[in-house]
Amino acid sequence: MSVRSYADFTTQATFEIKKCDVHKLDEAPATQVVMTRDEGLQYYRTMQTMRRMELKADQLYKQKIIRGFCHLYDGQEACAVGIEGGITLSDHLITAYRAHGYTYTRGGTVKEIMAELTGRRGGIAKGKGGSMHMYCKNFYGGNGIVGAQGQIFETYNMAALWKLPAIFVCENNRYGMGTSVERASASTDYYKRGDYIPGLRVDGMDVLCVREATRFAADHCRSGKGPILMELQTYRYHGHSMSDPGVSYRTREEIQEVRGKSDPISLLKDRMLSNNMASVEELKEIDVEVRKEIEDAAQFATTDPEPPLEELCNHIFYNDPPLEVRGTNPWTKLKSVS
């Protein structure tokens, strides 16, 4: 049996990607993009890790090891990975509650993320934040409450007024909780909703499309032109959260169709294989490694102890002298340190 060496593979290839719809822009992101073998493998690994991590979270939630709210990202991997591919870790990112994917691309480890979901001391927020409140450097969470309209227009106004270098990303997965976008929005052309702010509508299932659009958007901002909007058309396989089966407001056929025709990981895999950028075995090997990483992380997340009670009152204030905190009754006085 001959072993294929890495010299057999194409080191880079050019791909045709979908043209983005533009709003108030004279140019659009390129439709011919180059991806190297290394980039492809990295995107594949990252997306696969994210996918398996979310599926593991689903399992742990059903076993009641993860509690509370859990909003899963599977289906939307190309968005987080593509965005990170177009920016750097020194840029700043903030998102809403469907945050596990971004926590990973921003530098969190699978172990830390899973241990946070299970509420253990090894969690990225020491078990105090939970699914919706994960943070790391230049990543501002993970936020549970979102103002879907009014506040965003206020922000658009100020960003445009002061020419702030901000990319506003709308991950349009077609549903706001259990309500389809058509039932909730007078206009579903979200990329145009910035009005005087230019916008792009991007195929959010194609990691290269997202990356290219993000690079374009980042250039726009970095060159002092002010804010820009990106609407990523994507899809979530799970319901809104783990308490939503996700099939009362959409059909199983629809979900299956997206999985069959537009799955971001499959799309990338097909591209790499048909351009001789990787072998089936190589990708399978990555799958095996990813699976192991997730298993190890889950093992850690289920065996790591819960945070100690001494942690209960810490982190109320930053850079402040230690503080006394009232417990559930006047005789219980607890301690808080920064």
Partner 1 sequence: MASSLRCFLRTGKNAVSALQRREFHRTLPVAVQVTVRDALNQAMDEELERDERVFLLGEEVAQYDGAYKVSRGLWKKYGDKRIIDTPITEMGFAGIAVGAAMAGLRPICEFMTFNFSMQAIDQVINSAAKTYYMSAGQQSVPIVFRGPNGASAGVAAQHSQCFAAWYGHCPGLKVVSPWSAEDAKGLLKSAIRDDNPVVFLENELMYGVPFEMSEESQSKDFTIPIGKAKVERQGNHITLVTHSRYVSHCLDAAAVLAKEGIECEVINLRTIRPLDVESIETSVMKTNHLVTVEGGWPQYGVGAEICARIMEGPAFNYLDAPVTRVTGVDIPMPYAKILEDNSVPQIKDVIFSVKKTLNV
In the complex, which residues of this chain contact partner 1 (CB under 8 A)?
A: 67-69, 116, 119-121, 123, 125, 127-133, 143-150, 176-179, 183-185, 248-249, 306-307, 309, 311-313, 316, 325-331, 334, 336
Distance in Å, CB of 221 to partner 1, minimum: 27
Nearer to partner 1 by Cβ, of 116 and 206: the residue is 116
For 2, 225, 237, 249, the CA distances from 55, given in Å and listed in that order, are 36, 40, 11, 22
Rank residues 86 and 129 by Cβ distance to partner 1 and give the closer one: 129
Asked if residues 123 and 116 have their Cβ atoms less than 8 Å apart, the reply is yes
In the complex, minimum distance from the CB of residue 334 to partner 1, in angstroms, rounded to a whole number: 7
For residue 150, the minimal CB distance to partner 1 (Å) is 5
Tell the smallest beta-carbon distance from residue 280 to partner 1 (Å): 41
For 230, left (φ over 0), alpha (ψ -120 to 50), or beta?
beta
CB of 292 to partner 1, least distance (A): 26
CB of residue 157 to partner 1, shortest distance in Å: 16
Residue number with CB closer to partner 1 (85 or 129): 129
Distance in angstroms (rounded) separating the CA atoms of residues 264 and 91: 24
Cα–Cα dist 39/25, whole Å: 29
**Nearest residue (CB) to partner 1, 28 versus 96:** 96
Nearer to partner 1, 153 or 196 (CB): 153
Exposure pattern of 78-89 as b/e (b: 16+ CB <10 Å)? bbbbbbbbbbee
Say if CB 259 and CB 238 are below 8 A apart.
Answer: no
Measured from the CB atom, the residue of 107 and 144 that comes closer to partner 1 is 144
The DSSP bridge partners found for residue 176 are 179
DSSP per-residue string spanning 112-166: HHHHHHTT-TTSTTTTSS-TT---BTTB----S----SHHHHHHHHHHHHTT---
Report the nearest approach of partner 1 to the CB of residue 159 (Å): 20
* Contact predicate 222/168, CB 8 Å: no
Q: What is the DSSP letter of 190?
A: G
CB of 143 to partner 1, least distance (A): 7
Nearer to partner 1, 49 or 241 (CB): 241
**Under 8 Å between Cβ of 71 and 132:** yes
| Alpha-carbon span 308 to 164, nearest angstrom | 42
Least distance to partner 1, CB of residue 142, Å: 10
Please give the DSSP secondary-structure letter assigned to residue 18.
P
Identity of the residue, 281 or 310, whose beta carbon is nearer to partner 1 in the bound complex: 310
CA pair distance 290, 311, nearest whole angstrom: 33
